[in-house]
Amino acid sequence: MKVAFLVAPEGVEQVELTDPWDAVTDAGSTPHLVSTESGTIQAFNHLDKADTFPVDADLDTARSQDYDALVLPGGVANPDALRMDKRAVAFVKGFFEDGRPVAAICHAPWSLIEADVLRGRTLTSWPSLQTDIRNAGGTWVDEEVKVCTGGPNTLITSRNPGDLPAFCETFVREFGAKA
């Protein structure tokens, strides 16, 4: 299984990238870093610069159809930049249109809101997104991990880095069920 990790050139919360990446690798699947620009991305530990990571494909060449599943890591700046990029929004929307699973953590649902894919869906996120999610037609819940199958695909969401163990375990299981 080939899993896309969509991130902006700067602002992804490092642990929300690396822990899910390791979970995908440990499950025997292939993670692939996709970004709005080629080269490398700059991760952060909250507001402090952390490591850089090489981009496997940029949105000028990557197509959502090339992947079996999508992971959207958070951080505040990362999804805010992605939702402003029409290519990123179209990439995300493609997974919903084709019925492929998506996992999003923390602030990452901002990209889902912009893609207009939350109507009738139940999800969780960083608490400050709850009004945005409701305004986009979704139902927000305060849960460690939420699996929503009430739509064209399976959507797995979590609130914050503290939820990463449950998030990774759940999305790996759900992605495997879709393989």
Q: Report the relative pairing of strands 155-158 and 145-148 from DSSP bridges.
A: antiparallel
- Asked if 7 contacts 58 with a C-beta cutoff of 8 angstroms, the reply is no
Domains and CATH numbers, the chain: 2-178 (3.40.50.880)
**pLDDT at residue number 17:** 98
For Cα atoms 2, 9, 61, give the angle at the middle one, nearest 5 degrees: 50
Which residue stretches of 4-152 are H helix?
14-26, 77-82, 86-97, 109-114, 130-135
For residue 5, the SS3 value is strand
What are the catalytic residues? Answer: 106-107
pLDDT < 70 stretches in the chain: 178-179
**pLDDT at residue number 178:** 59
Would you tell me the crossing angle of helices 164-178 and 14-26 to the nearest 10 degrees?
A: 40
**pLDDT at residue number 93:** 98
Q: pTM of the entire structure?
A: 0.97
**Phi-psi label, residue 96: left if phi above 0, alpha if psi -120 to 50, beta otherwise:** alpha
